[in-house]
Structure 1
Amino acid sequence: MAKPTVLVVDDEEDIRELVELNLRREGYQVLACETGEQALNRVLSKAPDVVILDLMLPGIDGLEVCKRLKADPKTQKIAVVMLTAKGEEADIVTGLELGADDYVTKPFSGKVLVARVRRLLRKQRDETDLQAVVRIHELTIDPSRHEVLIGERAVALTLTEFNILHTLARRPGRVFTRYQIVDSIHGSDYLVTDRAVDVQIVSLRKKLGPCAKYIETVRGVGYRFTD
């Protein structure tokens, strides 16, 4: 598997070298440049996974670079971390509203910066995984179409039923507690009872017919998808 690529954009050479050193220690491929114009050209030619972007750049500043990257469908999925000495709340808010994914203020910890990059890369992988089509035997689950097929027959599911099925089927063999299922669908602040999850599972099994056998009850714990 190719190592993730990170583009570092900063007009201060010592900062660039420090960021590069920390990233390379973690095994990332690192590109570097010092102006906004160079950053835009490098992104188009190299397609990095993450851009670490100083806001105070000569020529096109970091905020404008971020704005252009997030406005272009070809580059909008690239994660942007703002790296800046401007720690005022207004600057941070402006960057985040333009689409930046995170920010780190100078002076910074190399370990913290690497941890932020690692988190964003993990988030990218999770989002890609969430959109992947799941195929197990005769069952096909397509998140982008919100479609479930058994063979060629479409199965009509509610949004909650679909999300439960997708959550379980993406991790066959893993046991999910009822509250883990709820968290993955609604978030940890969603209030629900054990019984509500069980009712959804009963309904889902009825609609899946012969494929209901793939949803296994783990007594005293929760549910898992078996393939």
Structure 2
Amino acid sequence: MSEKTDYKILLVDDEPDILEFVGYNLRKEGFHVETANNGSQALQKAQSFSPHLIILDVMMPGMDGIETCEEIRKLSSFKETLVVFLTARGEDYSQIAGFDAGADDYITKPVKPKVLISRIKALLKRHKYGSYRAPDGEETRISVGDVVIDREKYVVFRGDQELVLPKKEFELLLLLASKPDRVFSRNEIYSSVWGDNIIVGDRTIDVHIRKLREKIGQDHIKTIKGVGYKFVD
């Protein structure tokens, strides 16, 4: 039995065997675990349990994992909560749809307990220490053109409009805007925002860039073909 941690995990799956097996292994590692067997129950439990991380099965009757994630991301109290999708091999599931809904990672099942625990610990470590971190001494606010980013309050303004961004979108915008006109390679972005231990799909950055452009305007983030992206005034 591992030492007890302060981290709380909500496990959501409509298969009792999965809840029992995965829940057992998470508890054995010292995590506080609550379970739910559908999306509606997950939303109720999340609000009373306040988990640091939610593991969501994608294919569930009624409200599926994608819809549940979208509803979770609408609630400001879960802006920094990590969401991980569980997907069975062969399921009709798009990673792009998952990241569009606000997921932080995905894990294919069946999954070996050691692999699952390793992925979760890597995600929680990034959550604890942050992903992109500005050097000490830098201003808490970044202003570029009509975009203002407050890294302490996790708030973005475009003119007078306050924007609510999911954690990864915020960190990606903060990274790019920290050095306007500097081109960040895709590898640099993956490492800074997702971390070297997190495995994400090739189009993950593209999805987040598209969503940022929809919110802050098409002209602020430029694509440098074959290299990466840069933020411009």
Q: Pick the TM interval, shorter chain.
A: 0.5 to 0.7
2:105 counterpart of 1:102: yes
Does residue 1:145 correspond to 2:141, yes or no?
A: yes
Name the counterpart of 1:120: 123
Q: Classify the secondary structure of the residue corresponding to 2:130.
A: helix
Unaligned segments of structure 1, at least 5 residues = 135-140, 147-185, 191-227
> Is the Cα contact below 8 Å between 1:70 and 1:77 reproduced in 2?
no
Question: 1:53-93 deviations in whole A, cap 9, x for unaligned?
Answer: 00111221110011111232221211111012155585222
Q: Based on CA coordinates, which of the two structures has the bigger radius of gyration?
A: 1
C-alpha spacing 1:53/1:188, structure 2 compared with 1 (3 Å) = closer
CA distance in 2, matches of 1:78, 1:145: 23
Q: After superposition, where does 1:20-169 map in structure 2 within 5 Å?
A: 20-87=23-90, 90-127=93-130, 130=133, 141=137, 144-145=140-141
| Number of positions where the alignment pairs a residue of Structure 1 with one of Structure 2 | 146
Equivalent of residue 20 in structure 2, options 14, 17, 20: 17
- CA–CA distance in structure 2, aligned partners of residues 105 and 189 of structure 1: 23
Q: Any conservation in 1 of the 2:5–2:32 contact (CA below 8 Å)?
A: no
For 1:122 and 1:105, how far apart are their aligned partners in 2?
Answer: 21
CA deviation string 1:3-25 (max 9, x = no partner): 20010001111111111111111
Contact residue 87 and residue 105 of structure 1 kept, 8 A: no
Instruction: Return the letter of the residue paired with 1:145.
Output: R
Structure 1 residue 96: Cα displacement: 1.7
Distance in structure 2 (CA, Å) of the matches to 1:79 and 1:120: 8
Per the normalisation by structure 2, the TM-score is: 0.55
Q: Whose helix fraction is larger, Structure 1's or Structure 2's? A: 1
Go from structure 1 to structure 2 and tell me whether the alpha carbon gap of 1:100 and 1:188 turns closer, same or farther (over 3 Å shift).
closer
1:13 and 1:90, CA in 2 relative to 1: closer, same or farther beyond 3 A?
Answer: closer
Identity of aligned residues (%): 38
Deviation at 1:187, TM superposition (A): 7.7
Q: State the partner residue of 1:7.
A: 10
Tell me, which stretches of 5 or more residues in structure 2 are unaligned? 143-183, 189-233
For the aligned residues, what is the CA RMSD? 2.9
Q: Which amino acid aligns with 1:144?
A: T
Letter in 2 for 1:14: D
